[in-house]
Amino acid sequence: MNDLTADRKISKFLPWLGAMAIFMQALDGTILNTSLPTIAKELGKSPLEIQSIIVSYTLTVALLIPLSGWLSDKYGTKKIFQLAIFIFTLGSTFCALATTLPFLVISRIIQAIGGSMMVPVIRLAILYAYPKKELLKVINFITIPGLIGPLLGPSLGGVLVETLSWHWIFLVNIPFGILALWITTFAMPNFKHPVFKFDIKGLLLFSGAITVFTLVMELTSSNVIGLTTILSLLLLAVILGAIYVVYSKKKQHPLIDLKLLNIRTLKIGIIGNLITRLGIGGMPFLIPLLLQVGYGYTATVAGLIMIPAAASNIVAKSFVVPIVSKFGYRNTLIANTILLGLIICMFFFLQSTSPIYYIVPLMILNGFFSSIQFTAMNTLALADLNEDTSSEGNSLLSVTQQLSLTFGISVSALILGFYRQLEFITKGVEVQAFRYSFLTMGVMTMLSTFIFVQLKNADGQQMSRTKVD
């Protein structure tokens, strides 16, 4: 094949390959939520205690994102992307074969190793392959499946669980993986770039601190360790984190350059992502559980009820630019965070006898304002980055987004587990624990508004005049 033919094939099929990778990851991230009660039942576990299936995936992705860019630059985008697809598909196969919770969690970690490289590497290849004037069109094209995945995921997961078995939510990845591997043979360029020596010590310190901290939340919510062990593990996480902070300041090219946090808008955007999502990040995990465990709806019905939230999430994206342009990041984020907190608090008023149509408007509002929140926080974080800091700053934001997903689910499970133990609140009614969990998360979300008070009215003005993805 000559170079001209190869370039034409790459130009034609590379965006489709990127779209497929983003769709696979987006679908996998949402298809599991409505399936948890069924998986828990078959594995002999409580549906309120198996969030580790989701957390293990999001945590692994977060910790390995910095490695993905380094590997693709050193060994080539084509080789690493093919490896990523293969590992993701292999992990999906293992998940489908799992018969115990530990086996499923390990399989999810394998799947996440591939998932951590898939999207970052394909985005990097597209950045290298297209001139800047074409990038916006290509990136817009590949992000559409990322919006469709959450729309289809919950309902598809519910249908597969009821009509076939929960194993099929992982088996659907296999044909996509095989197709993607075939397309890479002719549509994926193998770009390489010079790299610095990878910061292995930094990875061990950073991942150690985050993993231990997440493990504490998981074990605490499951009530399998005592207070002394909890405090000991927390101390270990703090020590590892403190060592990394000191180490990264001395390292010339650290895993995550904390000096970037001297950029105020990036710092506020990063902290905002982490803290705000402690309240709102667990909603996609809790709501399907509420519908199935609390109200007794089927997985299919629970999945269908999630569609309005996903649809309003997509619709809201077209409103972000005019809203931020008119009111600025500071006013938008302060007002939107308070509104989101109030909406989450409204779930407290759902009773065991509440009709299903009471939930739908709350779902729509939650999806709409969550979309505005995430998009505004993310673009604010990138607002003041320049050519020297954009790559590392974007990587830091990607890691933060994944960590915030992990912490959001872990914290919501911890809060739910706490209220479930309070007999004077639940009185044997499972919905009660959910109601007070939503109230707590809503208040937490409103309190996170104080992060955005630190913004100035002019912050992010240049970014607000551009297209927000």
Indicate the SS3 state at residue 51.
coil
Q: Do residues 33 and 284 lie in contact, with contact meaning Cβ atoms separated by under 8 Å? A: yes
268 and 336 belong to one structural domain: yes
359 and 211 belong to one structural domain: no
Q: Rounded mean pLDDT of 343-366? A: 83
Identify the CA nearest to 53 among candidates 191, 170, 133.
Answer: 170
Q: What pLDDT, on a 0 to 100 scale, did the predictor assign at position 132?
A: 62
312 and 442 belong to one structural domain: yes
Q: Do residues 160 and 300 lie in contact, with contact meaning Cβ atoms separated by under 8 Å? A: no
Confidence of residue 342 (pLDDT cuts 50, 70, 90): very high
Identify the CA nearest to 68 among candidates 231, 209, 235, 255.
Answer: 255
Q: How many domains does the chain have?
A: 3
Q: What pLDDT, on a 0 to 100 scale, did the predictor assign at position 302?
A: 79
Q: Rounded mean pLDDT of 405-418? A: 83
Identify the CA nearest to 212 among candidates 406, 430, 446.
Answer: 406
216 and 263 belong to one structural domain: no
Task: State the chain's mean pLDDT as an integer.
Answer: 80
Q: What pLDDT, on a 0 to 100 scale, did the predictor assign at position 6?
A: 47
Residue, of 381 and 427, whose pLDDT is higher: 381
Q: What is the CA radius of gyration of the chain?
A: 22
Total-model pTM: 0.79
Q: Which residues 6+ apart lie within 8 Å of 226 measured at CB?
A: none
Indicate the residue among 172, 191, 210 that finishes a domain: 191
29 and 123 belong to one structural domain: yes
Q: For the chain, how many helices (H) and strands (E)?
A: 19, 0
Q: What is the CATH number of the domain that holds 355?
A: 1.20.1250.20
Identify the CA nearest to 62 among candidates 329, 281, 234.
Answer: 281
261 and 241 belong to one structural domain: no
Residue with tokens 């519908």: 291
pLDDT digits (tens, 9 = 90+) for 19-61: 888 888 777 777 777 788 888 888 887 776 677 788 788 888 8
177 and 213 belong to one structural domain: no
**Rounded Cα distance, 210 and 123, in Å:** 26
Indicate the residue among 238, 254, 270 that finishes a domain: 254
271 and 357 belong to one structural domain: yes
26 and 59 belong to one structural domain: yes
216 and 293 belong to one structural domain: no
pLDDT digits (tens, 9 = 90+) for 307-331: 888 888 888 877 887 888 888 888 8
Identify the CA nearest to 385 among candidates 285, 469, 266.
Answer: 266
**Rounded Cα distance, 57 and 402, in Å:** 10
Residue, of 173 and 157, whose pLDDT is higher: 173
216 and 311 belong to one structural domain: no
Q: Rounded mean pLDDT of 350-358? A: 75
pLDDT digits (tens, 9 = 90+) for 245-260: 898 888 887 877 788 8
What phi and psi values does residue 460 have, to the nearest 5 degrees? Answer: 75, 15
Structure tokens belonging to residue 97 = 């074969």
Q: Which of 137-141, 148-152, 404-408, 437-441 has the highest mean pLDDT?
A: 437-441
Identify the CA nearest to 433 among candidates 420, 444, 415.
Answer: 420
Q: Do residues 294 and 436 lie in contact, with contact meaning Cβ atoms separated by under 8 Å? A: no
Q: Check whether 370 has a pLDDT greater than 50.
A: yes
pLDDT digits (tens, 9 = 90+) for 235-248: 988 898 899 889 88
**Residue 353 belongs to what domain range?**
257-469
**Rounded Cα distance, 448 and 443, in Å:** 9
Helix axes 200-222, 227-250, angle to 10 degrees: 160
Structure tokens belonging to residue 89 = 């598909």
**Rounded Cα distance, 180 and 16, in Å:** 9
248 and 262 belong to one structural domain: no
Q: Rounded mean pLDDT of 196-225? A: 80
Residue, of 436 and 124, whose pLDDT is higher: 436
Indicate the residue among 228, 254, 280 that finishes a domain: 254
